[in-house]
A and B are shown apart, each in its own frame.
Chain A
Amino acid sequence: MFVRLEARPTASKAMVYQSPLIAIFLTLIISMVMFWLMDTDPFLAVNAFFIEPVSTIDGVAELLVKATPLILIALGLSLGFKANVWNIGAEGQLTLGAIFGGGLALSFFDVDTPLLLPAMLFLGILGGMFWAAIPAFLKIRYNTNEILTSLMLTYVGLLLLSYLIHGPLRDPDGFNFPESRLFHDSALLPIIIEGSRLHIGFLLALFIAVLTWMFTIKHIIGFQIRVIGLAPAAASFAGFKQKKLIWITLLFSGGTAGLAGALEVAGPIGQIVPVISPGYGFTAIIVAFLGRLHPLGVVLAGILMALTYLGGDAAQITMNLPNAVTGVFQGMLLFFLLASDVLIRYRFKIGLTKKEDSLG
């Protein structure tokens, strides 16, 4: 007797939604084993990692602050992933969004107007779109692989930020520290919960999630994106223009990443600093898949992944665990998710051995 995988007659729809839960469960089990091997009480560690950080209102607010960029970026990415357009460079697009949005705030540092904030967000979106337009153009014109070009542009973007923050954008009164001026009040996002850092960007992310959802299931562009991902030949039979869809998906994902960048500098950070994101652009890839490329799923997955950031910080302080634990968690989650996705098309079967299986 042994266990083998058997193809299902049709893909299991229930498994599509169960597989992320299985992945979360397995991640928890294995991480507890890992804590135990590190001579840490597994239950205490899980408590410190996942429960304690969100046991106060402040904690929950902080969770949503971190979830905001993840949700925004993953919403954009998942639309592209559906169409088999693989934008891996959201981190760079976020950085450009922060530079464009933050740059505007700094150039109007002495102007007090309610128009500044919307203009910053708008410019942030443009910045992200601009950075995503480069791989889009290269893919359409020269058939380059957008995975490589968008990823490489991330590092160009980070170096651009580094140059600007050590040069033109450095605070003239900042004792040569690589930081910009602090933004003034009209360049900062309104706070939802008094005393916390939770800003209206989170509501904006939820609003965009609903819009994306409506767009994907009800709008012709969303339909075209789904068809092109599921059956490219059927898309050309129907006459959908692939180039247009590549432009749309890359610009949309670049735009949401850029918006996330502008929100970060206008929200929790309040100035431009050398490191704007702790890898939100990359983590959002996991969020997109964990959320099944579905806007609602992305919101839930974004909150869960935000918890790994928060838990990592907390475990570092209370349990003396290394910060790398966050990365291990995120990696495990993606690993188990991809593994459990096998169960969508296959199921376990406890069967006879191969020898007995043949004819007698």
Chain B
Amino acid sequence: MLTIPRLQLCGVTKRYPGVIANNNVNLKIMPGEIHALLGENGAGKSTLVKYIYGIQKADSGSLVWCGKNTKVTNPKMARKMGIGMVFQHFSLFDALRVKENIALGISSKLANFDLENKIINISKRYGLPLDPDRYVYTLSVGERQRIEVVRCLLQNPSMLIMDEPTSVLTPQEVELLFRTLRQLSTEGVSILYISHKLQEIKDLCHTATIMRMGEVVTTCKPDQETPQSMAEMMMGKNLIAPKRFEKTIKKHPALVINDLNVKSDQSYGTDLKDINFTVNRGEILGVAGIAGNGQKELMAALSGEILAESSISIKVENIPIGAFYPNQRRDIGMAFVPEERLGHAAVPMMSLWENAFLSSTSKMNFLNNGFIRVESVKAYTREIIKKFGVKTPNIQNIASSLSGGNLQKYIFGREILQNPRIIVAIQPTWGVDAGSAAAIRQSLIDLTAKGCAVLIISQDLEELMEISDRLSVIFEGQLSPAVKTESITAKQLGMLMGGVTVFSEMGAIENVC
């Protein structure tokens, strides 16, 4: 390795109103190094990367590029210097072809001359199969990411920034991506790899810089650490694994879905096709899958925000509820936790007690001839805050003043204290700090002890493996048969998530129903 670092940051500080996103951050990346930037949501990773790529200015600090003090004023300049970035959220036009999308993001000089062959060459050389003539809307998320990677590589970067690249990929796609990244590394390209997935970092990265609350905690060699030790550095406390009960689940269906078909109400949404599953009392069923395969539609169909085509396709304790509205479903003991906390599960500008009222109106008997029993609602709010350890000074505070983890605990508390028979949650711990996430998982497990049926739709495989009794995978609006969590491997799950049917080769699967 050469001795001059490719990139060096010295004392980078960035303040937002009311919060320090980066405090005196130092970072050094050598040529050909795969460098992990590791931290929880909100640790300041994104802010730092935005600074490197010229999207955002810092309040103080300096950036040294290949030994030269440099100011990156905008992303165009960053690209010119040789920095490429693959964002977590892609900027692609669904209705255009692959090559047209690539041409839009690069200089016209590069785009005009023989672009198609260049794309094919790059994709062959780095093992990134991509057809330049396909339309983007026909591609999987993994293929879409490849477009972004190829677009970066076309510009011969000397450093590549990857922001949470694997959060949308199957394990197989992840392996493919890692092969490409390792090849780039041997060719001398530096890679700044942002993630909070510890095993990946251990497998891939040479060095890891760990951030917590805007500061660099330490720099370590991932191959000399265990995922557990890195997690402790990242979160600053010992991880608590959820306590599970020894339980035998009796076959007692609480929620039965029978040939559920739903048309998505959004363009490029996913229609649900012939969904079948059963959740028993006291059981947690996990639904895995890559984003955009019908999870939102499934959630909406279960909560009643979209009504099912046939009333008997959804049954709760043998009552057909496919035509029930959300409040009717709540009245018979269902509870829901949607993905978006602010704006969907809670009204950002309303007080906590008003938000408690939002979903508990009729179940908790909070109405008196149409008028709100304010004092009862406030007492209920205090109970949620106390029992679920929500940190807030006052129940008059608005929902958006709470941190993500606190608000999610509050929302779960609001639903759980209504004593549901069935609870359906999507992405229950997305963007939530580790402490709150553990508390939420524990509260779901506790619910099953009381005989509640739990359905979790999540992209977080680790979480699903940890708490689910049975697992199922959603792919392009279809659901695979549920299997016991112990009997399926991450590899098999990954194949299902990528649309490969593995059940034939696995043989007969013991199914609790």
Nearest opposing residue in chain B for A11, CB measure: B349
A359 to B13, CA, bound (A): 10
Residues 313-370 (chain B) with a chain A CB within 8 angstroms: 325-328, 330, 336, 338, 340, 342-350, 354, 357-359, 361, 367, 370
* B236 on interface, CB distance cutoff 8 Å: no
Nearest CB of chain B from residue A27's CB, rounded to whole Å: 28
- Residue pair B361, A357 in contact (C-beta under 8 Å): no
Residues of B within 8 A of A221 (CB): 370
The verdict on A7 contacting B17 (CB below 8 Å), with A233-B340, A359-B62 known, is yes
* A37 on interface, CB distance cutoff 8 Å: no
Residues of A within 8 A of B61 (CB): 359
Residues 249-282 (chain A) with a chain B CB within 8 angstroms: none
- Residue pair B73, A358 in contact (C-beta under 8 Å): yes
Q: How many A-B residue pairs have CB under 8 A?
A: 86
The verdict on A234 contacting B345 (CB below 8 Å), with A239-B325, A358-B57, A359-B61 known, is yes
Residues of B within 8 A of A358 (CB): 57, 71, 73
Residues of B within 8 A of A231 (CB): 342-344, 346-349
Residues of A within 8 A of B367 (CB): 220
Residues of A within 8 A of B372 (CB): 218-220, 223
Nearest opposing residue in chain A for B303, CB measure: A237
**How many B residues touch A, CB cutoff 8 Å?**
45
Contact of A234 among B19, B73, B347, B401 (CB under 8 A): B347
- B interface footprint on A228-245 (CB within 8 Å = 1, 0 otherwise): 001101101111010000
A221 to B371, CA, bound (A): 9
The verdict on A10 contacting B401 (CB below 8 Å), with A237-B326, A238-B326 known, is yes
- Residue pair A9, B348 in contact (C-beta under 8 Å): no
Residues of A within 8 A of B340 (CB): 233
Residues 397-443 (chain B) with a chain A CB within 8 angstroms: 398, 400-401
A6 to B16, CA, bound (A): 10
A238 to B160, CA, bound (A): 44
**How many A residues touch B, CB cutoff 8 Å?**
26
* B225 on interface, CB distance cutoff 8 Å: no
Contact of B374 among A6, A218, A236, A239 (CB under 8 A): A218
Can you name 17 A-B pairs with beta carbons within 8 Å? Answer: A7-B17, A9-B19, A10-B398, A10-B401, A227-B347, A227-B350, A230-B350, A231-B343, A231-B347, A231-B348, A234-B358, A238-B326, A239-B327, A239-B328, A241-B325, A359-B61, A360-B60
The verdict on A237 contacting B327 (CB below 8 Å), with A6-B17, A223-B357 known, is no
A357 to B58, CA, bound (A): 8
Nearest opposing residue in chain B for A8, CB measure: B17
A233 to B296, CA, bound (A): 13
- Residue pair B357, A237 in contact (C-beta under 8 Å): no
- Residue pair B325, A234 in contact (C-beta under 8 Å): no
Nearest opposing residue in chain B for A226, CB measure: B350
- Residue pair A237, B338 in contact (C-beta under 8 Å): yes
Nearest CB of chain A from residue B52's CB, rounded to whole Å: 12
Nearest opposing residue in chain A for B11, CB measure: A359
- Name 7 extra pairs, CB < 8 A, besides A231-B349, A238-B327, A358-B71: A6-B17, A218-B374, A227-B358, A230-B347, A234-B346, A359-B57, A359-B58
- Residue pair B57, A238 in contact (C-beta under 8 Å): no
* B18 on interface, CB distance cutoff 8 Å: yes
- Residue pair A223, B354 in contact (C-beta under 8 Å): yes
Instruction: Sort A-B residue pairs by CB-CB distance and give the 9 closest, nearest first.
Output: A239-B326, A239-B327, A9-B18, A233-B344, A9-B17, A231-B347, A231-B343, A234-B347, A238-B358
Nearest CB of chain A from residue B74's CB, rounded to whole Å: 11
Nearest opposing residue in chain B for A354, CB measure: B57
* B232 on interface, CB distance cutoff 8 Å: no
Residues of B within 8 A of A234 (CB): 343-347, 358
* B305 on interface, CB distance cutoff 8 Å: yes
Nearest CB of chain A from residue B159's CB, rounded to whole Å: 19
Residues 204-224 (chain A) with a chain B CB within 8 angstroms: 218-221, 223
Residues of A within 8 A of B338 (CB): 237
- Residue pair B370, A230 in contact (C-beta under 8 Å): no
Residues of B within 8 A of A236 (CB): 305, 326
Residues 1-42 (chain A) with a chain B CB within 8 angstroms: 6-11
Nearest opposing residue in chain A for B70, CB measure: A359
- A interface footprint on B10-33 (CB within 8 Å = 1, 0 otherwise): 000000111100000000000000
* B455 on interface, CB distance cutoff 8 Å: no
Nearest CB of chain B from residue A100's CB, rounded to whole Å: 29
- A interface footprint on B69-87 (CB within 8 Å = 1, 0 otherwise): 0010100000000000000
Residues of B within 8 A of A6 (CB): 17
Residues of A within 8 A of B16 (CB): 9
Residues of A within 8 A of B62 (CB): 359-360
* B294 on interface, CB distance cutoff 8 Å: no
Nearest opposing residue in chain B for A349, CB measure: B17
Residues of A within 8 A of B350 (CB): 226-227, 230
* B39 on interface, CB distance cutoff 8 Å: no
Residues of B within 8 A of A11 (CB): 349
Residues of A within 8 A of B130 (CB): none
A81 to B19, CA, bound (A): 34
- B interface footprint on A39-70 (CB within 8 Å = 1, 0 otherwise): 00000000000000000000000000000000
Nearest CB of chain B from residue A196's CB, rounded to whole Å: 38
Nearest opposing residue in chain A for B12, CB measure: A359
A219 to B73, CA, bound (A): 53
The verdict on A359 contacting B327 (CB below 8 Å), with A226-B350, A231-B344, A234-B345 known, is no
- Residue pair B359, A238 in contact (C-beta under 8 Å): yes
Nearest opposing residue in chain A for B337, CB measure: A237
Residues of B within 8 A of A10 (CB): 398, 400-401
The verdict on A237 contacting B359 (CB below 8 Å), with A10-B400, A226-B350, A230-B348 known, is yes
Nearest CB of chain A from residue B422's CB, rounded to whole Å: 16
A237 to B359, CA, bound (A): 8
Most A CB contacts (10 A, CB to CB) among B63, B71, B361 go to B361
Nearest opposing residue in chain A for B325, CB measure: A239
Most A CB contacts (10 A, CB to CB) among B73, B305, B358 go to B358
